Amino acid sequence: MTAFRGKDLFVSFAGDAGTVTLSGDYTQLTTTQSIALLDQSAGPDTERTYVNSLKDQSVSVTVKHQAAGSVLANALVAGASGTLTWGEEGTASGKNKHTLPAISQGAAMNIPFDNLVEISCTFQGNGARVDATY
């Protein structure tokens, strides 16, 4: 398997305030998938056993904030619903593409005195993720 760098990442969020591209000045994207487990242990069992239940996922992205830019913060307001799309190797034909109905958990701003200002946002999955290719 060939390794690759994340420099070609493409990320966009098409939500209530329109579509914003998050990949121009991104510094990190993290995806988390999980599943709820139902405990089916009973009676004389001596070890717990489980059954898969509902899947869940979230995606967090961090971008550099542009001066006097409110479009990004407005698009990522808490509760904004839309579709998050990302491709870890860009948008070239045949590369991975992921789409996820999602709800923005709101933009968090990091304002250090000696570095660039960043905006982070976590998107809560709100339906099934679709993995395909461009």
Superfamily of domain 6-33+57-133: Hcp1-like (2.30.110.20)
Q: What is the pLDDT of residue 101?
A: 98
Q: Compute CA distances 96 → 34, 79, 85, 88, 130, whole Å.
A: 20, 27, 11, 7, 10
pLDDT score, position 91: 92
Q: Where is pLDDT greater, at 4 or 34?
A: 34
Cα–Cα distance, 12 to 47 (Å, whole number): 45
The model's pLDDT over 56-112, given as tens digits with 9 standing for 90+, comes to 999 999 998 876 667 887 889 999 999 999 999 999 999 999 999 999 999 998 999
Residue 50: CB atoms within 10 Å = 12
Question: What pTM was estimated for this model as a whole?
Answer: 0.88
Which sequence spans correspond to the domains of the chain?
Answer: 6-33+57-133
Q: Quick check: 97 and 87 in contact, CB under 8 A?
A: yes
- 92 CB-near residues (< 8 Å, 6+ apart): 134
- Taking the C-alpha atoms of residue 8 and residue 97, their distance in angstroms, rounded to an integer, is 12
Q: What is the pLDDT of residues 13-44, one digit of tens each?
A: 999 888 989 887 889 999 999 999 999 999 99
Bridge partners of 18, per DSSP, are 15
Query: Look-up: residue for tokens 């789409």?
Result: 99
